[in-house]
Amino acid sequence: MTDVTRAEVCVAACADAWRGDGETLASPFGTIPSLGARLARLTFEPDLVLTDGEAALMANTPPLSDTEDIVREAWLPYRRVFDVVWAGRRHVMMMASQLDRFGNQNLSCIGDWHRPKAQLIGVRGAPGNSVNHTTSYWIPSHTPRAVVDRVDMVCGVGYDRARAVPGAARFHEIRVVVSNLAVLDFATPDHSLRLRSVHPGVSVDEVLASSGCPVVVPDPVPESRLPTPQELALLRQVLDPAGLREKELPG
**For residue 2, what pLDDT is reported?**
62
What predicted TM-score, i.e. pTM, was given to this entire model?
0.95
Per-chain mean pLDDT for the chain: 94
Angle at 231 between CA 143 and CA 235, to 5 degrees: 70
Q: Judge contact between 198 and 181, C-beta under 8 A.
A: yes
H or E element, residue 128? helix 126-132
H or E element, residue 113? none
Backbone angles phi, psi at 8, to 5 degrees: -70, -35
Average pLDDT rounded to a whole number, residues 199-221: 97
> What distance in Å separates the CA atoms of residue 168 and residue 220, rounded to the nearest whole number?
33
Query: What percent of the chain stands above pLDDT 70?
Result: 99
DSSP state of 88: T
Residue 7 pLDDT greater than 90, yes or no: yes
Average pLDDT rounded to a whole number, residues 62-66: 89
Backbone angles phi, psi at 104, to 5 degrees: -70, 135
> What distance in Å separates the CA atoms of residue 137 and residue 24, rounded to the nearest whole number?
17
β-bridge pairing 134-139 and 72-75: unpaired
Average pLDDT rounded to a whole number, residues 120-144: 93
Residue 179 pLDDT greater than 70, yes or no: yes
Average pLDDT rounded to a whole number, residues 188-206: 97
Q: How far is CA 223 from the centre of its chain?
A: 19
Residue 136 pLDDT greater than 60, yes or no: yes
Beta bridge partners of 86: none
**For residue 78, what pLDDT is reported?**
84
Residue 68 pLDDT greater than 90, yes or no: no
31-42 and 6-17 helices cross at what angle (nearest 10)? 60
> What distance in Å separates the CA atoms of residue 159 and residue 186, rounded to the nearest whole number?
9
Backbone angles phi, psi at 239, to 5 degrees: -85, -35
Q: Could you give the 3-state DSSP secondary structure of residue 9?
A: helix
> Of 9-13, 128-132, 183-187, 205-209, which gets the smallest average pLDDT?
128-132
H or E element, residue 208? helix 204-209
Domains of the chain: 6-247 (3.40.1080.10)
| 237 Cβ neighbours under 8 A, 6+ residues apart | none
> What distance in Å separates the CA atoms of residue 217 and residue 198, rounded to the nearest whole number?
11
Overall size of the chain counted in residues = 251
pLDDT tens profile 91-126: 999 999 999 999 999 999 999 988 999 999 888 889
**For residue 125, what pLDDT is reported?**
86
**For residue 66, what pLDDT is reported?**
81
Q: How far is CA 243 from the centre of its chain?
A: 20
Residue 141 pLDDT greater than 60, yes or no: yes
Average pLDDT rounded to a whole number, residues 46-60: 93
